[in-house]
Amino acid sequence: MTAVYHVEQIRTLESMGATQVGQPLMQLAGQAVADWVRSHVPTGQRILCVAGQGNNGGDALVAARLLKQAGYQIDMLFLGQVATLPPDAQRAWQDWQATGQPCLTALPSPAPSYRIVIDGLFGIGLNRPLDAGWMAWVDQLNLLAAPKLALDVPSGLCAKTGAVLGRAVHAKWTMTFIGLKPGLLTHDGPDHAGEIIMAPLGLDAHTLLAPAGRALHGADVAGLLAPRLRNSHKGLFGSVGVIGGAAGMVGAALLAGRAALKLGAGRVTLGLLDPDAPRVDHLQPELMLRHAEDLFHLAHLTCLAVGPGLGKSADAVHALDLALRTPLPLVLDADALNLIADKPDLANQLATRQGTTVLTPHPAEAGRLLGWQTAAVQADRLQAATALAEHFGADLVLKGCGSICMSCQGEWCINTSGNPGLASGGQGDVLAGVVAALLGQGLSGFDAVQLAVYLHGAAADKLVTEGLGPVGLTASEIIDAARAVLRGLTKRG
Helix/strand/coil for 261: helix
Q: Was 402 annotated as part of a binding site?
A: yes
Q: Was 320 annotated as part of a binding site?
A: no
Q: Contacting ligand NAX (CB under 6 A), which of 4, 13, 26, 74?
A: 26
| Amino acid residing at 464 | V
Q: Contacting ligand ADP (CB under 6 A), which of 57, 120, 182, 426?
A: 426
* C-alpha to C-alpha distance for 268 and 378, rounded to whole angstroms: 34
**Which entry of ligand ADP, K ion, ligand NAX, none binds 429, CB below 5 to 8 A by partner kind?**
ligand ADP
Q: Is 355 in the site for ligand NAX (CB under 6 A)?
A: no
**Which entry of ligand ADP, K ion, ligand NAX, none binds 119, CB below 5 to 8 A by partner kind?**
K ion
CB of 402 to ligand ADP, least distance (A): 7
Considering only the stretches 53-61, 182-190, 236-244, 341-349, report the one whose residues sit in contact with ligand NAX under the rule CB under 6 A.
53-61
Number of Cβ within 10 Å of residue 204's Cβ equals: 9
Considering only the stretches 124-132, 241-249, 263-271, 391-399, report the one whose residues sit in contact with ligand NAX under the rule CB under 6 A.
124-132
Q: Is 362 in the site for ligand ADP (CB under 6 A)?
A: yes
Residue ranges of the alpha helices (H) in 401-444?
427-440
Give one DSSP letter per residue of 45-73, joined into a string: -EEEEEE-SSHHHHHHHHHHHHHHHTT-E
Which one, of 111, 216, 116, 120, lies nearest residue 172 by Cα? 116
Q: Is 160 in the site for ligand ADP (CB under 6 A)?
A: no
Any residues with CB less than 8 A from the CB of 40 and at least 6 apart, and which?
Answer: 116
Q: Was 213 annotated as part of a binding site?
A: no
Give one DSSP letter per residue of 268-303, joined into a string: EEEEE--TT--S--TT-TTSEEEEGGGGGG-TT--E
Q: Was 348 annotated as part of a binding site?
A: no
Any residues with CB less than 8 A from the CB of 268 and at least 6 apart, and which?
Answer: 239, 240, 241, 242, 257, 260, 261, 286, 287, 288
Q: Contacting ligand ADP (CB under 6 A), which of 104, 144, 376, 423?
A: 423
Helix/strand/coil for 100: coil
Considering only the stretches 24-32, 345-353, 386-394, 477-485, report the one whose residues sit in contact with ligand NAX under the rule CB under 6 A.
24-32
Which one, of 357, 334, 327, 341, lies nearest residue 435 by Cα? 357
**Per-residue x/- marks for ligand NAX, 176-215, CB under 6 A?**
-x--------------------------------------
Cis check for the bond before 110: say yes or no (omega within 30 of 0): yes
* C-alpha to C-alpha distance for 17 and 293, rounded to whole angstroms: 60
Q: Contacting K ion (CB under 5 A), which of 64, 67, 77, 151?
A: 151
Helix/strand/coil for 189: helix
Q: Was 35 annotated as part of a binding site?
A: no
- Residue 486, sorted as left (phi over 0), alpha (psi -120 to 50) or beta, turns out to be alpha
**Which entry of K ion, ligand NAX, ligand ADP, none binds 124, CB below 5 to 8 A by partner kind?**
ligand NAX
CB of 187 to K ion, least distance (A): 17
**Which entry of ligand NAX, ligand ADP, K ion, none binds 181, CB below 5 to 8 A by partner kind?**
none
Q: Was 429 annotated as part of a binding site?
A: yes
- Residues in 152-171 that interact with K ion by CB under 5 A: 155
Q: Contacting ligand ADP (CB under 6 A), which of 9, 174, 357, 403?
A: 403
Per the CB < 8 A criterion, the answer to whether 163 and 375 are in contact is no
Q: Contacting ligand NAX (CB under 6 A), which of 72, 78, 134, 446?
A: 134
What is the β-pairing status of strands 173-177 and 239-244?
A: unpaired
Per the CB < 8 A criterion, the answer to whether 452 and 435 are in contact is yes
Q: Is 128 in the site for ligand NAX (CB under 6 A)?
A: yes
Number of Cβ within 10 Å of residue 80's Cβ equals: 22
CB of 424 to ligand ADP, least distance (A): 7
Q: Contacting ligand ADP (CB under 6 A), which of 2, 176, 427, 450?
A: 427
Q: Is 225 in the site for ligand NAX (CB under 6 A)?
A: no
Q: Is 335 in the site for ligand NAX (CB under 6 A)?
A: no
The residue among 77 and 401 lying less far from ligand ADP, judged by its C-beta, is: 401
Per the CB < 8 A criterion, the answer to whether 257 and 287 are in contact is yes
Annotated binding-site ranges for AMP? 399-403, 428
Q: Which residues are annotated as a binding site?
A: 55-59, 119, 123-129, 152, 155, 252, 309, 362, 399-403, 428-429
User: Which residues are near ligand ADP by CB under 6 A?
Assistant: 334, 362, 399-401, 403, 418-420, 422-423, 425-429, 431, 456-457
